[in-house]
Structure 1
Amino acid sequence: MTNNHRPIVITPGEPAGIGPDLTIMIAQKKQKWPIEIVICADPNLLINRAKQLNLPIQLHTYQNKKNNIKKNGELTILPINAPDTITPGKLNINNSKYVINTLTRACQGCLNGEFSALVTGPIHKATINESGISFIGHTEFLANYTQTKKVVMMFTDNQLRIALMTTHLPISKITQFITKESLSNTIIILAKNLKKYFNISTPKIIVSGLNPHAGENGYLGQEEKEIIIPTLNTLRNTGYDLTGPLPIDTIFIKKYLKHADAILVMYHDQGIPILKFKSFGKSTNITLGLPFIRTSVDHGTAIELAGTKYINTGSINMAIKLAIQMINKSHEKNFL
């Protein structure tokens, strides 16, 4: 691969958390990234955090179409200034708008062709909401900002892929969002992106039930009989390779996983705990269906570890590597 691709933009997320630390630490890599990395953040934040970590850092101001891959300890910075004091480990609601501003600028750059992909660091949703800004999560923000009707959240550790039918919802509201149309759209988006970015010609997707034991033929809920099974049958008739709905308590056994390119679960806590138990700190969150590539870390802000060096860069490294892989696959498709 050449380095002629447009840069990847990273938003470090919550400034009091470990996001800034991660960006500084990836700049110390001995192996250069094959694509330019641009950090959308407050320059003083990175300089001050680097001092606290006792790591070298040199910032180069971002200039569209004029960037070069940097040496160890150097970063390209797209400056967005935070309005208030940033102290590692101390949340400050006055900086919530800053977090939104970095995301907005990064999205703009992806939409207008400046950047090849967006990699996001961890955010603190409660702090943003406490500041008066309604914020459910990155996935919902990106869908809303890009006016994308349907996106799909998928986690992967390069061995297991778990996609979500719904994202950040209270349990009491989940059934409202499980409809034939929504389930069909989710599977179509998932299959399309597995083909586009992972070179899987006919994706094998295993779908979970919503209720215990996948509804037990209607005795433990009607969603499987009324929504999930009819939708899967309709899609099978158009060529999709689908298995399910299977009970969530057995869907992750080897018998099924060895035949699966992806597992689609009905809600967040049916699937994400499995992947985090298996590969926490070594997996990546992807938003499928956006008009650009977006990957993210698999962990939170770890406020208590900010500024300490005691953090694992495995997930941010994987998020960048996967973004590069997806860029390359997309690039290949464009020239087939």
Structure 2
Amino acid sequence: MNPVIAITMGDYNGIGPEVAAKSLLKIDTKASTPVWIGTPSVLDKVIAQYGLPLLYHLASDIYDIKEQHVNLLPLQSGHQEAVISYGTVSGLAGALAMKSIEFTTELCMNRTVSAMVTSPISKEALSLASCRFPGHTEYLASLTGSKEVLMILTSDRLTVALCTIHLPLKNVAGQITDEVLTRNLTLFMNSLKKDLGIESPTIAVLALNPHAGDGGILGTEETDLIRPALQKLNDKATRFEGPFPADGFFASAAYENYDGIFAMYHDQGLIPFKMLSFGGGVNFTAGLPIIRTSPDHGTAFGIAGKGTADSSSFLEAYHLALKMVLNRNSFHQ
């Protein structure tokens, strides 16, 4: 059987079901088998509302999916039926999104499906559903028992990894230790090789402080932590360079010379990434025992229900999931 790629429902009050349905129309089902996992009424409403010519096979269970078809696997949630209210934060929507993530992760863990593409979720809705995790990355790490994970975003223009992710800016410096740097730089290097198929990657590492600390006047993390970590990790198969002041690095388009860019915190990496890649960027998680990708946008409640959502990033997320399946198979052969 071709690789089976599962798609989570996400928050149905956002644009997730819309961009998923639009993408499913464009997927080559001869190369992979897509399975949307969620509440049938949600996908049915989107198809009808936007007049999408999307046909699917309604599978009774995961073993009933059909090759060369779009498949829908109903979510057995135990909750009340989903009722779409576009742009609304709902505890039920959060609970069903969680259930879809949990079930799909289980299918990936037991190798029933090859990879998963996660649709956007609302952190506020998850909180209303008593979810204690701030995002997909942390949630999937818990579900899979993974202690070392890394958030990476990639497009046809650049690939960025984040040393720290969803935490207040005031806490960032305290989280950047030799252990964290070594672990996350190694995860990034291995993922570029295994997931993106880059044999000998060159990685640019951004500084934490303005002007890379300016000789210690603006901070000493560059001299005390970052440079020693890079020197320790450099080898013949990988080259780490930096730390570079982030503003000049992106303003000079130096990112074009590297296979990967390692940012110290969320906005340092994501602001330039989204400016350069929005619409075509993909988020994926390194360090998991499974393959997980997602579009680089959120629920977009403000445009939900209008039919104007761009599905490009979601389709790229699906294509990357398939590419990663094939790359990992080749890497381990």
TM-score of Structure 1 vs Structure 2, range by shorter chain: over 0.9
Q: Choose from 244, 266, 269 the match for 1:268.
A: 266
Q: Does 2:57 correspond to 1:60? A: yes
Q: Indicate the percent of aligned positions where both proteins have the same amino acid.
A: 33
AA aligned to 1:34 is A
Displacement of 1:66 after TM fit? 4.2
Corresponding residue for residue 15 of structure 2: 18
Asked if 2 retains the 8 angstrom alpha-carbon contact of 1:207 and 1:245, the reply is yes
**Alignment length (residue pairs):** 330
Displacement of 1:27 after TM fit? 2.8
Unpaired segments ≥5 residues, structure 1: none
Asked if 1 retains the 8 angstrom alpha-carbon contact of 2:86 and 2:305, the reply is yes
Asked if 2 retains the 8 angstrom alpha-carbon contact of 1:212 and 1:220, the reply is yes
Q: 1-side partners of 2:253 and 2:309: how far apart?
A: 35
AA aligned to 2:286 is L
Corresponding residue for residue 34 of structure 1: 31
Q: Does 2:119 correspond to 1:116? A: no
Using the TM superposition, name which of 228-237 and 188-197 deviates more.
228-237
Corresponding residue for residue 197 of structure 1: 195
Corresponding residue for residue 72 of structure 2: 76
Corresponding residue for residue 91 of structure 2: 93
Displacement of 1:143 after TM fit? 1.0
Displacement of 1:192 after TM fit? 0.8
Q: 2-side partners of 1:204 and 1:222: how far apart?
A: 25
Q: 1-side partners of 2:199 and 2:132: how far apart?
A: 39
AA aligned to 1:38 is V
- The 1:211–1:134 alpha-carbon spacing in structure 2 relative to 1, beyond 3 Å, is same
Displacement of 1:274 after TM fit? 0.6
Q: Does 2:179 correspond to 1:181? A: yes
AA aligned to 1:322 is L
Q: 2-side partners of 1:273 and 1:293: how far apart?
A: 25
Asked if 1 retains the 8 angstrom alpha-carbon contact of 2:199 and 2:237, the reply is no
Q: 1-side partners of 2:263 and 2:230: how far apart?
A: 13
Displacement of 1:164 after TM fit? 0.6
Asked if 2 retains the 8 angstrom alpha-carbon contact of 1:53 and 1:307, the reply is no
Asked if 2 retains the 8 angstrom alpha-carbon contact of 1:27 and 1:75, the reply is no
AA aligned to 1:5 is N
What TM-score, normalized to structure 1?
0.92
Displacement of 1:58 after TM fit? 3.9
Q: 2-side partners of 1:274 and 1:267: how far apart?
A: 12
- The 1:259–1:219 alpha-carbon spacing in structure 2 relative to 1, beyond 3 Å, is same
Q: 2-side partners of 1:320 and 1:277: how far apart?
A: 21
Corresponding residue for residue 50 of structure 1: 47
Cα deviation 1:166-219 (Å, max 9, x = unaligned): 111110111221110110011111111111122222211110110101111111
RMSD over equivalenced CA pairs, Å: 2.0
Q: 1-side partners of 2:209 and 2:10: how far apart?
A: 35
Q: SS of the counterpart of 1:40?
A: strand
What TM-score, normalized to structure 2?
0.93
Q: SS of the counterpart of 2:195?
A: helix
Q: 1-side partners of 2:215 and 2:236: how far apart?
A: 25
Q: SS of the counterpart of 1:134?
A: coil
Q: SS of the counterpart of 1:29?
A: coil
- The 1:104–1:217 alpha-carbon spacing in structure 2 relative to 1, beyond 3 Å, is same
Unpaired segments ≥5 residues, structure 2: none
Displacement of 1:8 after TM fit? 0.7
AA aligned to 1:11 is T
